[in-house]
Structure 1
């Protein structure tokens, strides 16, 4: 058995990318993407309010910190348009190298930023600029990684190869949270608060460590050869001067369907991670001296410690990775649409089960939470895995980078950016009972289900075609 991906098309005369190179090149960028997300999210809670936004009010400082976190969501669609344009016009390889290099430099520079104590509010401004740069780079990263995987896949295995970039989500989660847990154990503070050493330099380690993964990713991506699909589009004159205009003019239905097909996936992921971390670690009763008149009614949580809950999430994320890989071969066999319709129905039902698993039930609360996270992340892997093939397959070669990137990143605004905020509001409206949050997930699932029903199966689409 050879170690090169064999193409059944006229590209056989070209040098082929090895399987290991395709896997690494497509996996490394999304791993850094999700690693960066969790590293930044953790720092935004633990250290950024004190180091970059010392307003004198803890709530205001936290909100300012989360504002810079959310700024990346605004920059992602812009990055999708820019990198999608260059990826469809000049090729996947150079665009992937540029997006990874931009992301890597921005993440590393966050790790060496001076704080408010050193340069005042200019430190917060620099943090915002670097966060925008991260979001801009990530806007083009996923789609390019998915195209590297699927455009180099053997016949009949596009969905399997499309799971390689998707694995970056669980791997990035485990690396980022594992590293923060190690740092937390090595330099513990009092009563769970960050220690002086952690505030001084410990928080910088995860950001600086990202440079290692970026260097590996660049080394692999620089060795890639351009995909046969893109080479064929160039040879036949199918490349357009303005791919975005072409995508919106001729493939607007695919853009809308792709955006909403991805919606339930995003909502599920950010509920299981961002929202559940807040709900799971908030105290079930208000602290002594809490002023309800000034701050509003206390919204209770489950009262787990940060370490306890992150360890439970890591258990669930292992199943995320397993089901991501399992979903690929199944989607290749039965079709992306049929599999995702079944999984989306499962997500809708799962949303209705929130009250069953997420209410305090004494000693059984921890066990129920672990079961809840395992079920949720198993569904997450099952829906996220096939997306690496399905979204690119909605578009022909000459607008594939642009189309899949725009759909993926616009969906991130509707799902990723809004889900945690909407969930917190619904949690408060429910008086601490998350049943409304579950209904929100089910509603997102219904929108995705309708989009899947209106779409067509893409398993057997001609991936080298320049028209759909």
Structure 2
């Protein structure tokens, strides 16, 4: 894609931003409403015969197990996204996520259909995992590939904004149900279902919006020239496996800490271990999601000013500084301490999430980019956030202390920083199919900055 072509899309930036943010918000609302409910109701309604402690572990495990299927979703979406286009995969993944979420809202509980209830719940969560694995890459590329080179950092933050917005919406909706519409036992009886059923309306809105945007100009040019890669995943792992590992480590550093909140562990800890009111905790999580939104937005601008790598390193430094104080604040600070802990987490998360889409897009060649960003993101989620709530719960049970949890979070943060240090910043690199030689070379410190032309042949 030429520079002229990229600059020619500037007039559509607002429409692309709106469509990307709204669609991603809806997708992640669906994903997070499950994680929020896992810590509040699923242990009682679907896993209660296992006993209170084991039921909670099983409930958190279903959150993590779905992540194991995110790479499969990424593989499928990456393959067809590189072959058929970014937009079509965005529509398919949105519909899949919405259908699974709505079905959870009408699912009978263990007391009604026995062991079939948790099995069906897990199957629907797996469908959510498949959708989440495929959705992010398409949204990221639609935003970044439409943007002029000098504004890719802020454009790449648009799909990232949908994640805190989705979490805010999920936390806010659940808080509304627990505190106003169906307090007490009514929430366990029927109120928890409403946030899932609302997904029907959201999916219709998201579908109409995503259908309205044009295809990524990079893919349009690839398709016009017939340059689609026949086996993008094979090419990715044959030529870029080191890059995949390093970039996945970056997201491990972010998602492990992130799923302390979005995965429900810290919410449940504040409620069960510190005795805080359920609705108060959910409102605090929603406020923190707002902070996460703004820190993510700021990080996108910073990525265009000081670079993707530097923004990440600042964010990881913030994360490393807060992983021990956050539990002290929750343990000793009451409700103000909970707010302070969640806000501190959210600042670091935004700084290590806002530039992610842009950096990933600039690392991989055009013909395998959808596969590259989707699979890397999914692997980072699996080895980072997937089982973070369950691991944290196990560490708490084994040691009776949060020190082990904070040490675990610090290790993940350091791994993310190592991954960031090993990658190169490539702001302004052309993203179109005419520049695959340049795109193939120099993504990490272990690769030469310049490649022979034959190395760019990724088919």
How much has 1:221 moved relative to structure 2? 1.5
Q: Which residue of 1 aligns with 2:69?
A: 75
Q: Structure 2 residue aligned with 1:370, among 336, 339, 351?
A: 339
CA contact (8 A) 1:111 1:207 kept: yes
Residue 389 (structure 1) aligned with residue 358 (structure 2): yes
Match of 1:313 among 285, 293, 315: 285
Q: Determine the structure 1 residue equivalent to 2:206.
A: 217
Counterpart position of 1:296 = none
Could you tell me which of 188, 193, 196 is aligned with 1:204?
Answer: 193
Candidates 92, 100, 125, aligned match of 1:98: 92
Q: Do the aligned partners of residues 131 and 397 (structure 1) sit closer, same or farther apart at CA in structure 2, a change above 3 Å counting?
A: same
Equivalent pairs, count: 435
Per the TM alignment, residue 255 of structure 1 is displaced from its structure 2 partner at its CA by: 0.5
1:90-111 CA-to-partner distances (Å, cap 9, x unmatched) read 1111111111111111111222
Aligned partner of 1:298 in structure 2 is: none
Aligned mate of 2:124, from 111, 124, 130? 130
Task: Identify which of 257, 270, 274 aligns with 1:280.
Answer: 270
Q: Work out whether 1:9 is the aligned partner of 2:7.
A: no
- In the other structure, the counterpart of 1:454 is 422
CA RMSD of aligned residues (A): 2.4
1:264 aligns with 2:253: yes
Within 5 Å, give how 1:66-465 maps onto structure 2.
66-189=60-183, 193-195=184-186, 198-273=187-262, 274-282=264-272, 301-354=273-326, 356-360=328-332, 364-432=333-401, 434-464=402-432, 465=435
Alpha-carbon displacement from aligned partner over 1:389-426 (angstroms, at most 9, x marks no partner):
11122111111111111111111111112322222233
Task: Check whether the contact 1:281–1:305 (CA below 8 A) recurs between aligned residues.
Answer: yes
Cα separation, 2, equivalents of 1:446 and 1:56:
36
- The 2-side partners of 1:139 and 1:249 are apart by 21
Change (3 A) 1:23 1:253: same
Q: CA deviation at 1:187?
A: 4.5
Q: Distance in 2 between matches of 1:54 and 1:443?
A: 33
Deviation of the 1:261 alpha carbon? 1.0
- The CA distance in 1 between the partners of 2:139 and 2:404, in whole Å, is 36
Tell me what 1:294 maps to: none
State how far apart, in whole Å, the 2-side matches of 1:27 and 1:335 are: 23
TM-score, scaled relative to structure 1: 0.86
Post-superposition shift, 1:358? 4.2
1:326 and 1:171 map into 2 onto residues whose CA distance is: 15
TM-score, normalised relative to structure 2 = 0.87
| C-alpha distance in structure 1 between counterparts of 2:116 and 2:394, whole Å | 32
- Verify the 8 A CA contact 1:142 1:405 in the aligned structure 2: yes
Look up the match of 1:287. none
- Asked if structure 2 preserves the Cα contact closer than 8 Å seen for 1:72 and 1:131, the reply is yes
- The answer (yes or no) to whether the contact 2:258–2:349 under 8 Å persists in 1 is yes
Report the CA distance shift for 1:263/1:279 in structure 2 as closer, same or farther (over 3 A): same
Alpha-carbon deviation of 1:145?
A: 0.6
The structural deviation recorded for 1:9 is: 2.9
Superposed displacement of residue 155, structure 1 = 3.2
In the aligned structure 1, how far is the partner of 2:106 from the partner of 2:114?
15
1:356: Cα distance to partner?
5.0
Which consecutive residues of structure 2, in runs of 5 or more, have no partner in the other structure?
440-459
**Given the superposition, is the C-alpha separation of residues 454 and 201 from structure 1 closer, same or farther in structure 2, using an over 3 Å criterion?**
same
Consecutive unaligned residues of structure 1, counting only runs of 5 or more, are 1-5, 283-300
Structure 2 residue aligned with 1:285: none
